[in-house]
Structure 1
């Protein structure tokens, strides 16, 4: 417990830096932007274009599924 004061100071500084970062993200609208980007990403991933691209990039997908079903 010799360095307890030092650890408390480091913890306080870290917490204050984290709180400042959170306040900055809230005031700049970061969370709203991320929510919109994530919803657009999920909408695109469920589109037929994305499914076709996924299948084109992994031609062994159906083969792997068939082997797993055999086991």
Structure 2
């Protein structure tokens, strides 16, 4: 336990830096922006255009499903 003070300083410093980052993200509206972006991404991924693009990029998609069955 020779370096307990050193480890305690590192732990407190890391916690302070993490708290500062969280406060910055809260004050800048980061979480609200990410929530909106994620919902738009999920809406687009479930659209027919995205499904068609996914199937076009993977021509073996149907074959892989048949082999699994």
TM-score bracket, normalised by the shorter chain, equals over 0.9
Structure 1 position 41, deviation (Å): 0.1
Q: TM-score, normalised by structure 1?
A: 0.94
Secondary structure, counterpart of 1:62 in structure 2: helix
Q: TM-score, normalised by structure 2?
A: 0.97
Cα RMSD of the aligned pairs, angstroms, is: 1.0
Aligned residues: 69
Structure 1 position 60, deviation (Å): 0.1
Separation (CA, whole Å) in 2 of partners of 1:61 and 1:24: 44
Structure 1 position 15, deviation (Å): 0.2
Structure 1 position 8, deviation (Å): 0.2
> Which residue does the alignment assign to 1:36?
36
Structure 1 position 64, deviation (Å): 0.5
Separation (CA, whole Å) in 1 of partners of 2:26 and 2:13: 20
Deviations 1:10-68 (A, max 9, x none): 0000000000000000000000000000000000000000000000000000100100x
